[in-house]
Amino acid sequence: MEAGTAEVVRSKTVSVTVNGTTYEREVDARRLLIHFLRDDLDLTGSHVGCDTGNCGACSVILDGTLIKSCMMLAVQADGATIETVEGLAEGEELTELQKSFSAHHALQCGYCTPGMLMSATALLRSNAHPTEAEIRKAIQGNICRCTGYVNIVEAIKSVGETS
């Protein structure tokens, strides 16, 4: 097609598998993935904390890679497999990571926690026994204003040490 004559596509039907369930939805072309997850799929565990992709509150794992879902359009996620915080626990059974966060008081208001958990999950999959420096680097993209990160690092390190 010649430049300038392309038809403007305002919406598209996408198929996305989230936490094992496949959803098919028609979505606005410019809708961000984070809003698709929160508003269209009612998965409100992932959060919005900024406008510029700096805070990491929206972090999810897409096709095995940790991404910031505010930095992707929903239409770009067509056909993808996504994991969010809601998919971590198996029913009533929390993961070791979730239990460790609670035991170490690694959360206060809980707003950054889903993003932190996804970053930590991605880290531990690729590096089961991370050092403190590796942990800090892995969560560098997740802002927390409550904890000062001290207990978050301890919680992740503890899982690495006991697994």
Partner 1 sequence: MTETVAPPQPKVVEPGQPQKGWAGQNVPRKEDKRLVQGEGVFFDDIKRHEMGYVHFVRSPYAHARIKSVDVSKALDVPGVYGTLTGDEVAILTDPFFELSVPPGAHMKDYALAVGKARFAGEPVAAVVASSRELARDASELVEVEYEPLEPLVDARVAQEGDAPILHDEAGSNVVWDGTFDWGDYDAAAAEADHVVKIKELHFDRFSSTPLECSGCLIEYNKGTGQWTMYCNHQMPGVGAIWMAPALRVGLDKLRFVTQDIGGAFGNKICLHPYFVACCLLARKLNRAVQWTEWRTDQHTANAHGNERWFQDIEVPVKADGTMLGFKVRATDDCGAFPRYEPLGCIIWAQVTPGCYRWRNIRVDFTQVTTNKSPVSPNRGYSRMQHLWLTERIIDIVASELGLDPVEVRKRNYVKHDEFPYETPNGCIYDSGDYARCLDIALELIDYPSIEQKRRDAESRGRLLGVGIGSTLDSGTNNFGQSMILNPDLQFSGNNEVATVKLDIFGEIVVTLGTVPQGQGHETTASQVVADILGCSPDDINVRPGHDSYWNSHAGFSGTYASQFAVTGLGAVKGAADMLAGEMKKLASVVLGCSADDIELAEGQARMKANPEAALPFMALGAILNANNAGLPEDLGVTLNCRYVYRPPFEKPDLERKYGNLTLTYATQIHAAVVEVDPDTGVYEIVDYAAVDDCGKRIHPQIVEGQVHGATAQALGAATHETFPYDADGNLLTPNFYDYHVPHALDMPPMKNGFIESESPFTPLGAKGMGEGGGAGIHAICAALQDALRARGKPVVTDSCNPYHRVWALLQEPEASRAGVEVVSR
* Chain residues in the site for partner 1 (CB under 8 A): 28, 30-31, 35, 38-39, 42-52, 54-55, 57, 84-86, 88-89, 94, 98, 101-103, 105, 107-114, 117, 135-137, 139-153
Q: How many helices (H) and strands (E) does the chain have?
A: 5, 5
Counted residue by residue, the chain has a size of 163
Q: What are phi and psi of 89, to 5 degrees?
A: -75, 150
DSSP assigned state of 77? G
As measured in angstroms, the least distance from the Cβ of 79 to partner 1 is: 23
Rank residues 5 and 106 by Cβ distance to partner 1 and give the closer one: 106
Closest CA to 123 of 111, 113, 134: 134
Q: With respect to partner 1, which residue has the nearer C-beta, 23 or 88?
A: 88
Please state the closest distance from residue 13 (CB atom) to partner 1, in A.
17
Between 77 and 118, name the residue whose CB sits nearer to partner 1.
Answer: 118
Between 53 and 64, name the residue whose CB sits nearer to partner 1: 53
Q: Which is nearer to partner 1, 22 or 52 (CB)?
A: 52
Residue 7 C-beta: closest distance to partner 1, Å: 20
Give Dmax over CA atoms of the chain in angstroms. Answer: 60
Q: Are strands 21-28 and 11-18 parallel, antiparallel or unpaired?
A: antiparallel
Residue 76 beta carbon to partner 1: minimum distance, rounded to whole angstroms: 16
Cβ 126 to partner 1, closest distance in Å?
A: 17
Tokens 């889903």 correspond to what residue? 114
Whether 130 contacts 163, CB under 8 Å: no
